[in-house]
Each structure stands twice: as structure tokens, then as C-alpha cells.
Amino acid sequence: MEKIIYHLHIVLCRIVANVQKYENVHKIFAVFKTTANLGEGFTYQRFENAANKEEFDKFVSTCKQLSFYDTGLTPQYGDKMICLSTCEYTLDNGRLVVAAVRIS
């Protein structure tokens, strides 16, 4: 079921910023679950503006390692990414995370 949903929504979202009047298209590169408990799980929500290539690559690598399936897409250093998350109930304080890279 998850793979079917992924293929139906391979282009994740079109983000329209009304103030700047532009549209961005993103593609999913990872879908995973983690916990939001302090000191546990992957702290994806703390990642912002990688200081260097190593930090960027580590974040992308962790997302892909946790991902339910391989999308065949790997963001490259300098790419813009977005993570959307929602509650996930199989883990204590769980989160389902959809990570995507901007393609236009």
C-alpha cells in the first residue's frame, strides 16, 4: 500500500508562496518513522542549512537508511530539501516523516 501511495504521489507537493508568487516542485527521497522523544530517534527536525558537505550527506544517508523503500533519488550537497511530518502511532511519540528534494 505504501509503495502504491508513493508512486501515485511521486511529485510530493507544489509549495506556493503567496508573498513571492513562485511554485516549487519536490520529489520524495525517503519516507520513514522515528520517535520525537528527547534523546531517542532521529532528530530530523533539527537539521537546517548544513554547515558542510559531510553534515548534509550524513542527514541524507540517515533518511535513506531509515526509509521504508528506495526511491532511487539521492539529494546532492546544495540541493534544497523539505521534511513533512505527522503523528505516527506504532511508536511512543512517533512521527512519520516524508523527506523530499526540490527539483524546480
Cα–Cα distance, 102 to 104 (Å, whole number) = 6
Per cent of the chain over pLDDT 90 is 53
pLDDT score, position 20: 53
Per cent of the chain over pLDDT 70 is 79
Q: What is the mean pLDDT of the chain?
A: 82
Cα–Cα distance, 24 to 3 (Å, whole number) = 23
pLDDT score, position 3: 54
Q: Apex CA 6: angle with CA 57 and CA 81, to 5°?
A: 30
